[in-house]
Structure 1
Amino acid sequence: MLVIFLSSCSGSQSALDPAGPEASRVAHLFFVMLFGGAVIWVAVVAALIYASRKKNAHSEESAGRVILWCGAILPSAILCALLSYGMWLMPAIRPWVPDDQPVRRIEVTGEQFWWRVRYLDETGKTLFETANEVRIPVGEPTHFALKAADVIHSFWVPSLGGKMDMIPGRTNPLALQADREGIYNGVCAEFCGESHALMAFRVRAVAAADYEAWLSERSAETRTNGLADAEGLAVFLKNGCGACHAISGTAANGRIGPDLTAFGERNTLAAGTLPHTAEDIARFIADPAKIKPGVRMPHFGMLQEADIQRMAAFLKELK
């Protein structure tokens, strides 16, 4: 049982398996609070055992002293110590990052039920847009500007740090840093509608040099890789998909739905709901609401099966 319990404390979505400075401090605070709670619990249990075995009743004076010390003074002292420690640790858990400090900047907007991700330059100008996956460099802080387009969402990557609400009409700052390479799962931690539980995302932490190379490639004005499938692109545009979705270097320039440029690089489909396979892409195109209730994308089940399969294959290969 202990092995099973401890194994559940690790993984890419565990706050007890920290991979960044903020998550490490949160985990440290948790264990300190856990220890303090355990001390109080052991003391209470010991007092109960003592009372159950005590044959002679205490005098009124000694009973008053026990109640005063064990019921008021000691618990208050322990709780004050834990509170003081938590308050002292708070500034280090989430340090304030000035807006003019040169750091990596990413804007994330929560929408029902997916994540719009924009990479920004030093001046706040959008370099490019993607969705549902975030890439950051290892060992460097990344400044997130968190927004919401419709209702309140909450941005949370347990292995990298604490959660932060995303409120319509407001921009909340959050700085996160990954200390080691890997893929870390994130979730929406605020109930936001029917498919709240199907609104996940991934943060991929890579070496700084690899991040720079990827950022330069994605920031290019036009992209031609992966667009050799002219037939698939023609089917995509013919059925009106470009009115809601954008693909850099093509006539698709919609801004309502997720940007599909380099869609083939992603690990999951529909904000972590499905594996990224051509079959699942076709299923989602045909009837997205069946897979993700409340999604705003219309169904395309009326299209010919060949067209759906053609679009799915085209999207799967976009790099």
Structure 2
Amino acid sequence: MKKEAMFFHPEEGKIRCVLCPHYCLIAKGNVGFCGVRQCGQSGDELKLFTLNYGEITSISLDPIIKKPLYHFHPRDNILSVGSFGCNFKCSFCQNYSISQHRAESRYVPTGEMADISLRNTDSIGLAFTYNEPSIWYEYVYDVAGEIKRRDGEHKIVLVTNGYINEEPLKKLLPYVDAMNIDLKGDGEFYKSICLGKLEPVMNTIRAANGEGCHIEVTTLLIPGENNSHETLDRLGDFLASVDRDIVLHVSRFFPRYRMKKPATGMEDLKKAYQQLRKKLTNVYVGNVSEEEKSYIMKQ
């Protein structure tokens, strides 16, 4: 559904989107970097419209530990929904069919989505995941607000790349109980592989943690890209400066989408785990079998 967006202003006969740090300047009829925010005419004015409002591509009841969230109601399930679009272009994307393409979707109005979540007795809440929820902002904000008005104990979770500006983030955070935020690598990694910047993601982690939102962080460990000793040192030092007890998930990479590198080796995962455990209290490994996990995490 097409709906007027939030966080934009006119500039030079175009529209400047200020939702995320790309700050796209969009001409009439065009979309921004995320592919879902379009400049269009409304009466005599140019405005910004969101194209994925209420458009659901995926819905599933998942164990919350799959988000992954290990220290937030880990024995429970959560209803999970996603749309399409993303404000990164990661060549290793695990969900590229909905993040990098306009997938088939079904429109679900705000009230109906809130009803579906609140009536699901097997779930503790609603997780916005699968694609990037921040560029689905208006729907996430409306649904989360509606749910919290009806039941303040119903949980709202975001699984996000953290690439969002401070004002929209702070407007949304009062409705959000927990977030899993990707911390993908160093500045060069973000620039060359994600086509973004590191600093805004670090700002999101700081801000969300400072507002009392439960935070867990995920780093997908890619051989030769973000697994050097120096890179992991910087990531560990940054997270420790926010909160030494913050939960970090170090996940194994498998070839996906356009990145065909070999899967992360067990020894690389073990070295990363041991290095980061010196800086952080809670480090876990993901995308591995229980046997592999035991080997890696054995002290």
| TM-score normalised by length of structure 2 | 0.27
Highest RCO, 1 vs 2 (Cα 8 Å, sep ≥ 6): 1
Answer with 1 or 2: which has the greater Rg.
1
| Larger proportion of strand | 2
| TM-score normalised by length of structure 1 | 0.26
